[in-house]
């Protein structure tokens, strides 16, 4: 289970005195614990952990962009290093060609009338790929195919 792997890695980072990894995994563990006590009444599954990791990666990407724009390269690099640590807990991401193939399959099934069916196609593709591809890339490919 992914949650247990994170706790194991956290312990190892503590023993090895890897400060960046330790702080990043502590934040992730805190997010998991917040979810558990939020009254969700559900066990924390790998899918939920992956969603929490994706949320953390997205937040750090946005923060890194902000730091780049503000000229704080050290802070931006720290955010990017944290992303690399978190990505270990995400499923392997699909390449652009793989995404194009998956989108084409959905387009063939849904048979959209044109760009007005973007939402329908996008929803079907994101449901099918479930965390295996970046939403921005999927959005770009769907827009290209719907012309």
> 0.85 exceeded by the pTM?
no
Q: Is residue 94 pLDDT above 90, yes or no?
A: no
41 band by pLDDT with thresholds 50, 70 and 90: low
Spatial CA neighbour of 57 closest among 35, 36, 31, 38: 31
Query: Which structural domains are found in the chain, ordered by start?
Result: 2-87 (1.10.1510.10), 96-146 (1.10.10.410)
Question: What is the predicted pLDDT for the residue at 129?
Answer: 84
pLDDT (mean) for 103-113: 88
φ and ψ of 38, to 5 deg = -75, 0
Given a contact cutoff of 8 angstroms between Cβ atoms, the answer to whether 32 and 6 are in contact is: yes
Interaxial angle between packed helices 96-110 and 118-129, expressed in degrees from 0 to 180 and rounded to the nearest 10: 120
Share the mean pLDDT of the chain: 90
Q: Is residue 43 pLDDT above 90, yes or no?
A: no
Question: What is the predicted pLDDT for the residue at 145?
Answer: 85
């Amino acid at each position: 289970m992914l949650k247990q792997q994170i706790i194991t890695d956290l312990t190892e980072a503590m023993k090895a005195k890897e400060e960046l990894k330790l702080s990043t995994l502590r934040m992730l563990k805190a997010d998991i614990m917040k979810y558990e006590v939020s009254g969700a009444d559900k066990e924390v599954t790998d899918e939920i952990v992956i969603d929490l990791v994706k949320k953390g990666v997205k937040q750090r990407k946005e923060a890194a962009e902000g730091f780049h724009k503000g000229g704080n390269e050290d802070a931006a690099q720290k955010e990017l290093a944290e992303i690399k640590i978190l990505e270990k807990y995400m499923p392997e991401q699909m390449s652009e060609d793989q995404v194009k193939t998956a989108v084409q399959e959905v387009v063939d099934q849904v048979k959209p009338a044109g760009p007005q069916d973007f939402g329908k196609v996008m929803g079907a593709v994101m449901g099918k790929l479930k965390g295996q591809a970046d939403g921005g890339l999927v959005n770009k490919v769907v827009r290209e195919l719907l012309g």
